[in-house]
Amino acid sequence: ALGVAIRTLRVNLERAADGEPKGVVMVTSPSDGEGKTTIARMLAESFARVGLRVLLVDADLHRATLSRSLDFGPRSGGLADILRGRLDLNDTIATTVTEGLYVLPTTTDPDAGDELARRFPELAETARQTFDLIVLDSPPLLGTADARTLAALADGVVVVASAGRMATPLAEATQALETLRVKVLGAVGNRLRRGGGTSYYAYLSPG
Mean pLDDT of 167-180: 69
**Residues 139 and 146: beta-carbon distance below 8 Å:** yes
Predicted TM-score (pTM) of this structure: 0.88
Q: What three-state secondary structure class fits 142?
A: coil
Query: Sorting pLDDT into bands at 50, 70 and 90, what band is 198?
Result: very low
In this prediction, residue 1 carries a pLDDT of 64
In this prediction, residue 121 carries a pLDDT of 95
Task: Tell me the three-class secondary structure of 88-111, residue by residue.
Answer: CHHHHCEECCCCCEEEECECCCHH
Q: Specify which of 1-10, 32-41, 104-113 reaches the highest per-range mean pLDDT.
A: 104-113
Name the amino acid, one letter, at 45.
Answer: E
Q: Which is more confidently placed, 34 or 61? A: 61
* Strand arrangement of the beta sheet that strand 23-28 belongs to: 94-95, 101-104, 54-58, 133-137, 23-28, 156-162, 184-193, 199-204
Neighbours of 145 (CB within 10 A): 12
Judged against a pLDDT cut of 50, whether residue 197 lies above it is answered with no
Summarised one tens digit per residue, pLDDT across range 80-108 is 999 999 999 998 999 999 999 999 999 99
Query: 158 forms bridges with which residues in the sheet?
Result: 27, 186
Mean pLDDT of 55-71: 92
Judged against a pLDDT cut of 90, whether residue 27 lies above it is answered with yes
Query: Sorting pLDDT into bands at 50, 70 and 90, what band is 50?
Result: very high
How far is Cα 94 from Cα 85, in angstroms, rounded to an integer? 18
In this prediction, residue 177 carries a pLDDT of 75
Summarised one tens digit per residue, pLDDT across range 105-149 is 999 999 999 999 999 999 999 999 999 999 999 999 887 889 989
β-pairing, 23-28 vs 133-137, is parallel
